[in-house]
Amino acid sequence: MTTSTRARTSTSTGNRGETVNPASPVIDTEGVTALLERGRRLATPELRAAVDRLAPPMDTVAAYHFGWIDAAGAPSAGDGGKAVRPALALLSAEAAGAPPETGIPGAVAVELVHNFSLLHDDLMDGDEQRRHRDTVWKVHGPAQAILVGDALFALANEILLELGTVDAGRAARRLTVATRKLIDGQAQDISYEHRDRVTVAECLEMEGNKTGALLACAVSIGAVLGGASDRTADILEKYGYHLGLAFQAVDDLLGIWGDPEATGKQTWSDLRQRKKSLPVVAALDAGGPASEKLARILADDAKKSETEIADFTEAEFASRAALIEEAGGREWTSEEARRQHATAIAALDEIDMPEAVRGQLVALADFVVVRKR
Amino acid sequence: MTTSTRARTSTSTGNRGETVNPASPVIDTEGVTALLERGRRLATPELRAAVDRLAPPMDTVAAYHFGWIDAAGAPSAGDGGKAVRPALALLSAEAAGAPPETGIPGAVAVELVHNFSLLHDDLMDGDEQRRHRDTVWKVHGPAQAILVGDALFALANEILLELGTVDAGRAARRLTVATRKLIDGQAQDISYEHRDRVTVAECLEMEGNKTGALLACAVSIGAVLGGASDRTADILEKYGYHLGLAFQAVDDLLGIWGDPEATGKQTWSDLRQRKKSLPVVAALDAGGPASEKLARILADDAKKSETEIADFTEAEFASRAALIEEAGGREWTSEEARRQHATAIAALDEIDMPEAVRGQLVALADFVVVRKR
């Protein structure tokens, strides 16, 4: 990180919710909305049918987690998330020249694995809120969070393997490898919590495992189900992996400077959790007076109890966020999102695919870095 | 349950550790010991190599769970369990005319799934001891128990799917279906805990899911990897499922009347946990004065706290065990083990296999019902 970066950053307006200006100047918002909507429309009925296979009470607990019912069991039009992964899985099939429907079992399997990891991570991390609602372990207890997570993971494999084809086996293998990385990433995340310092490289490795691996799988799984070669799948995964890192860099920006109305999280959410996210780690790595002052303050915070941190005023969090920004952590993370975004898009040039599909993958990448939630 | 059963049972000596007399009068103990030893010898190195793939600290936590190291990390020759499943997976390959080695990835995958379920179940059930040692959540904390369980489950699929064959996909599918049943069984087990009464049929369904399904998979997985037809695999699963129910009936007997020296559990272990196991459920279903007295006492016990139950004297547990026996629960469960044992062995007649393999499957079934641990 250079001095000029820090200088530029310290003059930032610090607007809440402002994230990244992507390389592409015009975002095809309508096109992306249609893509995400198509993913939801095609994958959700199959996802619900898969979850309906679960024995009671796991079916109900899972339906609550997905936002299809409320805690009392009444139907609900809850927030099912951004649905980036299903949209990618369908585009993935099209990238291999197959109809989007070929990617549906892949979309469902990836969503099941993603939600398995949310259920378990929320419990391990003690997170009480997800998508503006109480988390499953908070409502239904830790045992149900473990059990339903396990069931969703098993179901993901079942959905793929019952297709009974060699390509389905290849898809299931890629999903399994991605899931292991997801688990590795969560293990790293937990171990970093107990450490005073984490390097930027370690943080990126962890985020690549936690977010990159499964997005990568979403972008390859439809193509594999459509009979794509391993080389094509690997390059699509490269796009997805860097897209995931861009996605996560933006998430880390939103975790500090995001608008609670949009994100559904508390203000300064990641600071409340003392999360060693990219902006924090980059700021600590940067050196200089703001970085050193931040390091002293965070070292003090580390000795405090969770209750003491929860009792911080808005101003106390805001002053920490300002120091992170002054040390260059915000700007570095924005630039990292742009770098990962560019690497992702460049990977697409390594393989042939229909131009329309390439355009949509680029538009999705643009969307990921400008999103506010 | 007949009056004569109850009469016979009430004259039983109640010897600790006495379980079931199998249909076959002579048990080939040496042959079974050799089979179990072969399973351990061929599968353990591959199992250890698989677990070594886990990122730290998960590799260490898993090695502790398997008994390869102690809590301080020093190598240990711990009790790795009976290793019935690996032995079955190798025999399964031979049943399909393949060499036993063909079954090794299946043996490893089934052991990984079995241990995934132990890690998660011990945490959900709050069990503090397993194989004479503290459980993983007790030593390494709940997050590691969840995480390493997840990792072992993923690894199981990885080991099979990286074989890259159609048969490996079929094997992985069967394993996934078995895992879902395992999870269903644990969900039932948890829900039964909160109920006053459970029927014998419900208890058998739960035990079929928790124990039968994975044993069934162990007996089919080697054959599937060896190219066996779905029909052959289904019939092998039938043998394994009923073997599992026999195994579980014996486990339930040992859970009350087992010798702590042999089982590694406390005296009256299942009574301390107020477990609605087969002998209890059968005794409550039987009717008659002992059954009614037992029902009143257990209804009273249900209102007590865990600490109050833990403070019971040996005599208080012994009097409950005596009532279960007097009401016929012990004898019914012994007979149920014999019935399931006979059904398992009869299934083997539906398919062709080398006579030596059939003989070994029969010997293993005999062993399962006479075991003391």
CB contact under 8 A, A161 and B154: no
> What phi and psi values does residue B13 have, to the nearest 5 degrees?
-75, -20
Average pLDDT, chain B: 91
Position B195 scores a pLDDT of 87
Q: Would you give per-residue pLDDT tens digits along chain A (373 residues)?
A: 333 333 333 333 345 555 565 555 567 788 899 999 999 999 999 999 999 999 999 999 999 999 999 999 999 986 667 789 999 999 999 999 999 999 999 999 999 999 999 999 999 999 898 888 999 999 999 999 999 999 999 999 999 999 999 999 999 999 999 999 999 999 999 999 888 899 999 999 999 999 999 999 999 999 999 999 999 999 999 999 999 999 999 999 999 999 988 887 788 989 998 989 999 999 999 999 999 999 999 999 999 999 999 999 999 999 999 999 999 999 999 999 999 999 999 999 999 999 999 999 999 999 988 887 7
Q: In sequence order, what are the residues at sequence separation of 6 or more whose Cβ sits closer than 8 angstroms to the Cβ of residue B14?
A: B257, B321, B322, B325, B330
Torsion angle of C-alpha atoms B112, B116, B121, B123, degrees rounded to 10: 130
Higher pLDDT, residue B235 or A4? B235
**Residue in B124, B164, B183 nearest the CB of A154:** B183
Crossing angle for the helix pair A230-257 and A213-225, to the nearest 10 degrees: 150
By the CB < 8 Å criterion, does B163 face chain A? no
Distance from CA of A3 to the nearest CA of B (A): 37
Structure tokens at A73: 């069991």
| β-bridge partners, B133 | B130
- Alpha-carbon distance of B256 to B251, in angstroms, equals 9
Q: Quick one: pLDDT at residue B324?
A: 98
C-beta atoms of B164 and A169 within 8 A: yes
The letter for the amino acid at B267 is T
How far is CA A345 from each of CA A15, A97, A331, B85, B196, rounded to the nearest angstrom?
28, 19, 21, 48, 60
Provide the β-strand partners of residue B130.
Answer: B133
Q: Is A154 on the interface with B (CB under 8 A)?
A: yes
Contact A150 B120 (CB under 8 A): yes
Cβ within 8 Å, pair B177-A187? no
How close are the terminal C-alpha atoms of chain B, in Å? 27
Distance CA A207, CA A209 (A): 5
pLDDT of residue B27: 73
Smallest CA–CA distance, residue A109 to chain B, in Å, is 13
Chain B closest CA to A292's CA: distance in Å? 31
Predicted ipTM of the assembly: 0.91
- Work out the pLDDT band at B38, boundaries 50, 70, 90: very high
- Please give the residue of chain A at the shortest CA–CA distance from B141: A124
Confidence of residue B5 (pLDDT cuts 50, 70, 90): very low
Nearest CB to B173 within list A116, A161, A183:
A161
Asked if B137 reaches chain A (Cβ–Cβ under 8 Å), the answer is no
Give the number of C-alpha atoms closer than 13 A to the C-alpha of residue A126, restricted to the C-beta side: 6
> Which two structure tokens, joined as six digits, stand for A131?
């998508």
- Is the pLDDT at B13 greater than 70? The verdict is no
Binary contact (B143, A190; C-beta < 8 A): yes
Closest CA to B111 of B142, B68, B170, B143: B68
Query: Nearest CA to CA, how far is A353 from chain B (Å)?
Result: 26
What is the CB neighbour count within 10 angstroms for residue A184? 22
Interface test with A, best of B118, B125, B137, B161 (most A CBs within 10 A): B161
* Cβ of residue A194 closer than 8 Å to a chain B Cβ: no
Does the beta-carbon distance from A158 to B180 stay under 8 Å? Answer: yes
Contacts of B147 in chain A (CB under 8 A): 120, 124, 183, 186-187, 190
**Mutation target vs A (from B180, B195, B224; most A CBs, 10 A cutoff):** B180
Neighbours of B15 (CB within 10 A): 9
Query: Rounded to an integer, what distance in angstroms lies between the CA atom of residue A282 and that of residue A330?
Result: 8
B219 touches B92 (CB < 8 A):
yes
On whether any CB of chain A is under 8 Å from the CB of B60, the answer is no
Whether residue B15 is predicted with pLDDT greater than 60 in this model: the reply is: no
Q: What is the DSSP letter of B305?
A: -
Question: Terminal CA-to-CA distance of chain A, rounded, Å?
Answer: 27
Which tokens in the block code for residue B19? 């379980």
Stated as kind and residue range, the H or E segment containing B130 is strand B129-130
Contact B147 A168 (CB under 8 A): no
Q: Are A222 and A94 in contact (CB under 8 A)?
A: yes
The answer to whether the Cβ–Cβ distance between A150 and B191 falls below 8 Å is no
Min distance A350 CA to chain B CA atoms (Å): 26
Q: Is B335 on the interface with A (CB under 8 A)?
A: no
Per-residue confidence (pLDDT) for residue B22, from 0 to 100: 53
Domains and CATH numbers, chain B: 29-370 (1.10.600.10)
Q: Is the CB of B44 inside 8 Å of chain A's CB atoms? A: no
pLDDT per residue as tens digits for the range B107-166:
999 999 999 999 999 999 998 988 889 999 999 999 999 999 999 999 999 999 999 999
Other CB atoms within a 10 A radius of the CB of residue A55 amount to 16
Q: How far does the CA of residue B185 sit from the closest CA of chain A (Å)? A: 10
Tell me whether B232 touches chain A (CB under 8 Å): no
- Closest chain A residue to B125 measured between Cα atoms? A143
